[in-house]
Each structure stands twice: as C-alpha cells, then as structure tokens.
Structure 1
C-alpha cells in the first residue's frame, strides 16, 4: 500500500467547517439542498440531464442551477462543461482507446487509482463530503444498483480533493462504461443478495473514511476492487457460472 499522508493532509483534517466547498467557502443551506437534489438525479439517471430538464423538474431558475452545477464540477462530481452551443458530445476516451483495452486492464488501473483516492478522502474530505460518502454507500430502494455504485465511487473521488485524480477517475469510468467493456459493470444487474454484499463492502470503506483512517480506507477499497476483479475474471473464463 502507498503512503500519501502529508503535513498538508494532517493540517486539512483540523478545523474544516461542515458544508465547506472546494476552497470556495461555505455553501449556504439553500444551495446545499439543491446540491442534494442534483446528486439524487445523478444517482438515479447515471448522468446529468440537460439544464432545462433539470430546472423544470426542480422548479429552479437557470442561473441558480448553473451555480450548483459549478460547485459539483469543482468537486469533481460532474465533468467540466463543454464550450460552445449545441456542441455534439465528444467522448474524452475515443474508440481507439476503448478498442485497445479490456476489462482486466481497466480493473488494474482502478486498483492503482481508487485505493489512493480513498486514502486521500480519509485525510481531506470535509464532514459534508464524508456524510455524502456514507449515504452513497447504501443502495436505496428503487435506485439502479449500477448508478448507486457510480455515485459512491464519485463521492470518494470528490472527497479526495485532488482535481486531477478526480478527472482521471471520470475518464476511467467513461472507458469502463462503454458498451464494449460492460463486463466491468459487475454489479449492474445483481440479485438483492449481491447488492447487499457490495453495500457492505462500501460501508467498510465509508466507515474508514469517516474514522479518518487512511490505511483502513485504502485497504478496504483495494479489497473491494479485488473482489470485483475476481468476478470479472470468472465471467471471462470459459464455462464460467457468473
């Protein structure tokens, strides 16, 4: 396991106010409510719908909505806004990249990146971010299991407070979510028992982050991802029962 505990991290653990943004000061209560509503939509749909659709659903003004979306982007919970009007979506990960990789390579990189993100979240996440991670650890009734899994891992990436690492996670997730690599969605259509098992693993990670235990958070994330890797290897093996 790596060790990323720095003097700055130790300092960051002291005196952070609940609801603090990513270095931009505290978030007011009204905006925090809007952020929670947006996170629920993101967990439900797996992606953020167009601004007009969201504004109508939540009955908020567009400028207020854009402010909240900006906060989520600064925290790494949403990808950066694209410049230009009506620009056709351009995936960061092109077809050549997706065609040149495979589910096991994706998991190898997740095993390198995500335990470190969990470690950083244990050191740096604000109380509000930790509470978000703990809530996301459990799949609520009626929520798509895959969307819930994405929301949990995104919350940890945001809690790491490392914008570059969070962006790398977003790119990695886009690659993993491509239809040609859907073996990586090992929990997308799980029976309830397997969802409960996954939530239990998420809970161990969240508890370690909440306890400010970087070693425990890193270890728990690594073990969680190894379990997913083993499922993928089983699915890819001839005659697999997965």
Structure 2
C-alpha cells in the first residue's frame, strides 16, 4: 500500500515554528492561540498549522480537551493553604514517576531537547532554565494528566507568596551543580533506563528540598 504523502510546510509556517521554538527555548509559556497570534502578528489559521506541525513532531503536547471551564482547584486558592516545603514534597512524589515514564515514552526529538535543556543556556536565568527542563520531561511522559498536574504544581510553587529568600547570590557553582543533576536525569532518559531516571530525579529533588529547608531555618544549619 502506498504511503500517504505528508503535506509540505510553507515557508511562512516554517518561520512561525522557528519563532515558537525560540519562545519555548527561553522557558516562556505559550499564551492562548488568540494572544499568540496577535503577538506574532499572524492569522490564527496559520498559527494553528504551525502548532499542529509541532504537535505531529512531538515538540508540543496535544491540547487538553476540557469538559467544563470550572476547574476544581485554583492555584490562587491553594497557595493560601500551603508552603514551599509542601510543594517540593509533592514534586518528590510526582516527578520521579514522570522521569520514569519519559525514559520509556519520550520520542527521539523529545530526548534531544531534554539533553540540550539539561545545561542552562547563556543568557537564560536559573529559574527559567529549571522550569523549561522539568516541563520538557512532563510533556515527554506521554501522560497528559501528569503533565497538567506538574504544570499546576509549578504554578503554585512560583507564586510570590511562597518565595523563599536566599541569603547568598546564585553562584555559577550552584548552577553547574543543578545542571549536573539535570544531565544525570537526561542521560538516564536517553539510555531508556527508567530506574536510573527515577533515582536521579529523586536525588535531585531531595537536594532541592534540603536547600529550601536550610533557607527557611538558617539558624538550625548555621
């Protein structure tokens, strides 16, 4: 049976894809289609072609089909009853499983992006680089519910009311340590080793947990 020929991507759609990749590479969250089309100054049908092409290539997750517009949980409400330690505790529960799934299900394109994102690019802040890496893993897990839970959890954790001040500046050594931990996770996923990916993620988040606890209780660790 003859293979179905894939439609060619026009030059303007290719340029759009390049722009969207650049936004994602900076750790930016893509806004809704209408706002993104206005931001990129393109017609929405052209934007949809670009987004669909990226989804077919596993560069973007498929959109969630919402059955209603009234989410049970709202991050603004949840923030009022939690703290930074609870956020990292839940991340330790969720993200090792996400890393395990990514080691089994991530596509070659996604693995290449994970390996690249494991090292913080020049000009990208530590926070944005961290979120971009972990989001790639969640999107590569093949489990849309897990990816949505992760996105919600990070939205809660990034709220300014849960910010934990640090007494010292972010040094290059600390960024290198974080990148080294990210690379261990990425390499385990690339090797298709779910056990190693899960373990590396858990070790990484345990270290983050200790760092947060030290910042919240500096006198106990002085």
Q: How far apart, in 2, do the equivalents of 1:176 and 1:78 lie?
A: 24
Match for residue 40 of structure 2?
55
Judging changes above 3 Å, is the alpha-carbon distance between structure 1 residues 28 and 114 closer, same or farther for their aligned structure 2 residues?
A: farther
Residue 212 (structure 1) aligned with residue 189 (structure 2): no
Secondary structure, aligned partner of 1:239: helix
Structure 1 gap segments, 5+ residues each = 1-25, 83-89
Judging changes above 3 Å, is the alpha-carbon distance between structure 1 residues 53 and 192 closer, same or farther for their aligned structure 2 residues?
A: farther
Number of residue-to-residue matches in the alignment: 205
Q: How far apart, in 1, do the equivalents of 2:175 and 2:135 lie?
A: 18
Larger Rg belongs to: 2
Shift of 1:51: 1.2
Q: How far apart, in 1, do the equivalents of 2:210 and 2:116 lie?
A: 26
Shift of 1:43: 4.0
Q: TM-score, normalised by structure 1?
A: 0.72
Q: How far apart, in 1, do the equivalents of 2:8 and 2:180 lie?
A: 32
Secondary structure, aligned partner of 2:119: coil
Q: How far apart, in 2, do the equivalents of 1:93 and 1:146 lie?
A: 23
Moved over 3 A (4+): 26-37, 67-72, 74-82, 238-242
Match for residue 179 of structure 2?
199
Structure 2 gap segments, 5+ residues each = 1-5
Q: How far apart, in 2, do the equivalents of 1:240 and 1:120 lie?
A: 37
Q: TM-score, normalised by structure 2?
A: 0.78
Match for residue 3 of structure 2?
none
Structure 1 range deviating more: 124-133 or 61-70? 61-70
